[in-house]
């Protein structure tokens, strides 16, 4: 039995924020079995992104990339969706499920990429390009989604761009690195918003080259949110699900993984005899751990399921406007069987 001590700070933080009553500070709780119990009692489902800590991945009902998570959120029959990920992901689940309760263990779990596109500035940018269609990466706020024509993720972006007529002018937002990668892949000249993910921009080319020299047989697998000099060193580029599938099916036995380190948990589980080496960041910190994703902990997950807080609440007008481009993404993805 895995007993975890309920951390005093985590509880006090939540008491202050949400006024939870009657919390037994310092109580010993078997978080894994309690979470399973609450899931059944409340007909709740836990959807987790690969960047979550291993304990959270292990209690999740579904673990996936942004597209998979949105598809699961759309089809679930659970009454409560507990989103172990960041705010834009839980918000997307709420946009698709207005009648369901959507919970996020820590409301501060944001995203540097989503923050790099404030809706007011983006609206002006869009107005400066009136004949352009807007494709936005799902890593953005509902405000940006409402200003977009189609949403995409790293696993369907190429297909979505290619499904549009060749002469269609396109704005791609908010990730300039993914945008540049897609321009190269599709040959389409898109106008890019100048946003980026702090985690995927931290990798060091110099250290990666040195690591490759030390591991000559290792395949370098990278997420397309990385900058071009890093991507040019990669043997395979894909979404988190794409990287996981590649590492499982590839004949190689060693991989240098250039994305957030949370994905290594599933890589190691699906191929226990293979070796996965996290790519080194520029400095000596653990900067390739997403500080937003890692705000969620098993304790906070348990507390949020127990007290059904914090909950994602949305303005209905914004929800309706932001749902249209998500629906377009889901329709195109279904058409291509993605």
Q: How far is the CB of 199 from ligand SF4 (least distance, A)?
A: 4
Please tell me whether residue 258 binds ligand SF4 under the rule CB under 6 A. no
Give the DSSP letter string of 259-323. Answer: S-GGGHHHHHHH-TTSEEEEPPBSSSS-TTS-TTGGG--HHHHHHHHHHT-SB----HHHHHHHH
Q: How far is the CB of 28 from ligand 13P (least distance, A)?
A: 33
Whether the CB-CB separation of 182 and 188 falls below 8 Å is answered with yes
Near ligand 13P by CB under 6 A: residue from 116, 141, 240, 247: 240
Near ligand SF4 by CB under 6 A: residue from 10, 29, 183, 198: 198
Tokens of 24: 């037994």
Near ligand 13P by CB under 6 A: residue from 76, 139, 186, 333: 139
With CB cut-offs between 5 and 8 Å by kind, which of ligand 13P, ligand SF4, none does residue 198 bind?
A: ligand SF4
- Which residues have CB under 8 Å from 165's CB, separation 6+? none
Q: How far is the CB of 44 from ligand 13P (least distance, A)?
A: 22
- Coil, strand or helix: which one is 225? coil
Please tell me whether residue 136 binds ligand SF4 under the rule CB under 6 A. no
Peptide bond between residue 174 and the one before it cis (omega within 30 degrees of 0): yes
126-148 b/e (C-beta count within 10 Å ≥ 16 → b) = beeeeebbbbbbbbbbbbbbbbb
Closer to ligand 13P by Cβ: residue 52 or 297: 52
Q: Which residues of this protein are in contact with ligand 13P, per CB under 6 A?
A: 65-66, 139, 153-154, 197, 223, 225, 239-240
Q: Which residues of this protein are in contact with ligand SF4, per CB under 6 A?
A: 51, 86, 111-113, 139, 197-199, 260, 290, 292-293
């Amino acid at each position: 039995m895995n007993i975890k001590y309920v951390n005093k700070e985590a509880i006090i933080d939540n008491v202050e924020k949400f006024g939870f009553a009657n919390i037994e500070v310092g109580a010993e709780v078997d978080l894994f079995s309690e979470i399973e119990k609450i899931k059944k009692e409340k007909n709740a489902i836990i959807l987790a992104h690969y960047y979550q800590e291993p304990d959270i991945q292990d209690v999740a009902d579904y673990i996936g990339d942004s597209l998979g998570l949105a598809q699961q959120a759309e089809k679930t029959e659970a009454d409560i969706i507990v989103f172990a990920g960041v705010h834009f992901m839980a918000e997307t689940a709420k946009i698709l499920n207005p009648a369901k309760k959507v919970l996020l263990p820590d409301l501060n779990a944001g995203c540097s990429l989503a923050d790099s596109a404030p809706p007011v500035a983006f609206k002006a940018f869009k107005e400066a390009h009136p004949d352009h269609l807007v494709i936005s990466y799902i890593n953005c706020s509902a405000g940006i989604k409402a200003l977009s024509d189609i949403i995409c993720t790293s696993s369907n972006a190429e297909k979505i761009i290619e499904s549009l007529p060749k002469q269609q002018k396109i704005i791609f937002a908010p990730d300039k690195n993914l945008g540049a990668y897609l321009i190269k892949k599709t040959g389409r000249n898109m106008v890019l918003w100048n946003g980026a993910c702090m985690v995927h921009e931290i990798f060091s080319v110099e250290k990666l080259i040195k690591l490759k020299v030390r591991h000559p047989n290792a395949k370098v697998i990278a997420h397309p949110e990385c900058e071009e000099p890093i991507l040019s060193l990669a043997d395979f580029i894909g979404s988190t699900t794409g990287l996981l599938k590649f590492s499982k099916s590839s004949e190689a036995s060693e991989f240098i993984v250039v994305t957030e380190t949370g994905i290594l948990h599933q890589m190691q589980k699906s191929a226990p005899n293979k070796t996965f080496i996290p790519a080194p960041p520029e400095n000596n910190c653990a900067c390739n751990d997403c500080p937003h994703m890692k705000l969620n902990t098993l304790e906070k997950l348990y507390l949020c399921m127990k007290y059904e807080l914090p909950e994602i609440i949305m303005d209905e007008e914004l929800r309706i406007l932001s749902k249209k481009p998500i629906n377009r993404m889901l329709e195109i993805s279904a058409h291509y069987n993605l």
